Each structure stands twice: as C-alpha cells, then as structure tokens.
Structure 1
Amino acid sequence: MSKEKVYNISLITEEDAESVMKLIKRTFYIDEPLNRAVGLCTSETDSCPELDEYCTGSLLEGLSFKATDAEGNVIGAMINGVCPVKEDDNGNDLLSQAQRCTNPKFQKILYILARRESGAKLWEKFPHDHKLVEVKIAATDHNWRRKGIMNALTEETEKAVRTRGIRLIRLDTSSAYSAMTAEKYGYTSYYKVLYRDIKMDGKPLIVPEPPHLEDSVYVKELFPL
C-alpha cells in the first residue's frame, strides 16, 4: 500500500455503525490483549453479545470518530463515551456486572475492569469533576497500522471533548502500544499493575502475551479547573 495514500477523520454516524463494527470485530475483538489471552473471539464471526453491547453503547453519543480511506472504507475507529468519574452505586457497577456475567471468558475481563476502578480511585484524584470521556475502543485495520491513524483519532477526540466542556479524558490500556500513545499525548498514569499480580483465588486472572505486561489507567486534563 502506498504511503502517500491519505485518510479522512470524521464523526461516526448511524449510517456508519455496521461498517465500524465490522472493523472492530476483525481487529479489536480478536487482537486486544485481554480478548486474545482468554480466547474471547477467534474470528470476526464469533459471537460475543456482551462485547457487542459494550462497543455499541457509546457509538452514537457524538464523540466517536472513524478514519476512512480514499474509497470511503472504514480503516480506523475510536469509540468514546461520557462516564461518571465514580461509578454509580446502582447495582450496575463493574464488579456487580462481573458477578452476574454468565460468559466465563468475558467475566474474567470484567473482573479486570472492576480492579481498575478500585485501584485507580479517580474520584479521589479528581474530586471536583463529576464526569469524563472514556476512550472505550480503539481499532485500526491491519493494513493501515503505523500510519498515524490512532494519533489523528486521538487528536480529533480531544477537540470534541473540549467543545463539550469536559475536562478529563480517560484511556485504559491493556496494550503496551496504547500505553505508548497515551504517554506521547501527555496522559498521566493513575493506576498501573502487572497482570501477573491481579489474582483471584490465588491465581492470576488473565496474563496476556508480552509485551502487554501491565494494566493501566491514564487520564489527561484538557484544561485547568
């Protein structure tokens, strides 16, 4: 593929939903380190309703962006959603979701996410902020990686969040490469732990393959209080 070939960044609309989800299913569903470690999806046709719900829940909040090539094909996507800084105490917190989950593979992932919440304690670090925007999914077509697409999606997301008047962007990273992107763009780590140290019943919950050794939560303050 020619390096001169350009791409366009734009807001995800309802008409894009199917194409965006197809990209995510052939990339993120299979390649994301936690998904891969538990064998959540081994092909783009594997079904995972729980992950489908997680991905589509914030797709049309007006803060998610896609990258398209010259022919209009979706080659990258970043799904972002507005979330409370502290989980609502309504029985739908991540730990409660994990305890109710009937998919044993996805349940392990939910327990990891719940550990992030209790470990990061962002409500203590940002007591004057009540909401933030979380980068929930980031995906790039295999043939378009290392061409700046994720950087462009990150920059467009930050512009949109500023426009909404929201101060904080949260980026949780299971991938060492995502962590590098976060640090490049000035995000600060508020939680970092080796996967081998996240245990249940004395055994590690999930241990992805190297170089994905750490589970992290990054936050960027877009403007001062």
Structure 2
Amino acid sequence: MSKPEFRVLPVEDGDTEEIMKLLQITFFVDEPMNQAIGLCNDGPCAELDDYCRQCLPEGLSFKAVDKDGKVVGVMINGKCPLEEAKDGSDYLSLAQKCQNPKFVKILYVLAKRDDGCRLWEKYPEDEYLVDVKVAATHPEWRKRGIMNALLEETEKTTQERGIRLLRMDTSSAYSAMSAERLGFTCVYSARYVDIKLDGRPLIVPEPPHVDDRVYIKTLFDRK
C-alpha cells in the first residue's frame, strides 16, 4: 500500500474552524493533563478553545493537508518573550481571574512551569522565542512523518524571522521522547506530584506521564 501524500502549508484565516474540529478529537481529549481533570468531559472548554485560537493569526503556524485539502495535522506556534510581561496576560494573573475551576489548574501548572524553567536567565541574550503551543495529527495519519514535516517548516520560518530559540513543552512522556528525537534539549523537568498549590498536587496524569517538561532547540549560534 502506497504512503498517502500530504502537503505542509501555512495556516490561513479560513482554516480556524477545521483546525478546531481536529483538535477536538485529538489534543482536547488526548493531552494528559486534560484527561486527568476531565477538562472536556462535559463538552467544549471555551478557555482551551481560546488558548488554541490565539496564535493562529501570527503566521507562524502550519497545517498538513491531504490530497483533497483536508487538514490532517497542525502545529500551532506563537512568538513569545522569554520572560512573561507582568501586565495581566501572564499565566498566574490569568489563573487568578479564570472562572473555570478545571482550567484554573492548567493555568497554575503553566505558571509554575514558566517560573521553574526561568528561560530569561538561561538565555539572557535572547528576547523572544517561538513556542510550539499545540501539535496534533489526525488518528488515521499518525506515524507518517507529519510532525517532522510541520516542525521543519516551523524551524525554517523561525530562522527567517531571526529568532534563535524554539520551545516545546511536553506534558506527555511520548511527546518528551519525540522532542528529544527531534533534537530538543530538556531545560526544565518537574514531577506532577511535586507541582502543588496550597500543599496539594494540582494535576496528576496517569503513568507513564509523570513529568512536566520544557525543551529548547537552538536553531543557530550567535555570531
């Protein structure tokens, strides 16, 4: 059986709803933290939906499409400062304002992740990076090289914009293995049981997903 063909293209404005439908059957239900707290058990989570949508207009995200133009994979990327601005848009501030008790836990984990990895201290000469926020492949198209192809386009575009660092956070043991295989270096790791609020773990996914990690790939050296 011949390998199905796909093409990698930039995400366009009209792709948003099709991408969200793909995420609803992949990332929304597969991601270990989402699973652990049943984030989408009662239907779509508006906060997660907004999180996934917000970076699509930046021109840094890519889709894989089949021969009919149907989206079968996506990598949502955003340009971010290494240190969060303390203007109310940081994860801690968002957590304190969020009205969804389940999504609040996600935001607190993200806040503790950023504070723990302290990228602005590790890379003081860099102001921005590109963050691989969400990556998903349709279940029928997995293990066919889509993620590699999406990452290749992401790296190329990141370098064209003069940005040196690519970030990938992994809440899954499988995505952590993929990050290492793709040349990323782990710069932060914390056991979920140790990520606490008021003395209690925030989210504890099922094994083998026991660690929350941040990976960085340096795309070029400074001259």
Give 3-state SS (helix, strand or coil) of 1:60's partner: helix
Give 3-state SS (helix, strand or coil) of 1:191's partner: strand
**Which of 109, 115, 124 matches 1:112?**
109
1:100 CA drift (Å) = 1.2
Name the counterpart of 1:151: 148
1:170 CA drift (Å) = 0.7
Matched, 1:180 2:183: no
Within 5 Å, give how 1:1-225 maps onto structure 2: 2=1, 4-42=3-41, 46-225=43-222
> Could you list the per-position Cα deviations for residues 20-57 of structure 1 after superposition, in whole angstroms to 9, with x for gaps in the alignment?
111012211111111111101137xx221111111111
- Output the TM-score relative to the length of structure 2: 0.96
Give the count of matched residue pairs.
222
Code of the residue aligned with 2:58 in structure 1: it is: E
Q: 1: distance between equivalents of 2:200 and 2:88?
A: 26
Code of the residue aligned with 1:22 in structure 2: it is: K
1:200 CA drift (Å) = 1.8
Kept after mapping to 2: 8 A contact 1:133/1:168: yes
Kept after mapping to 2: 8 A contact 1:192/1:214: yes
- Output the TM-score relative to the length of structure 1: 0.95
1:3 CA drift (Å) = 5.1
Unaligned ranges ≥5, structure 2: none
Pairwise CA RMSD: 1.2
Identity %: 57
- Call closer, same or farther: CA 1:152–1:100 in 2, change over 3 Å: same
1:149 CA drift (Å) = 1.0
List, as ranges, runs of 4+ consecutive aligned residues in structure 1 with deviation greater than 2 Å: none
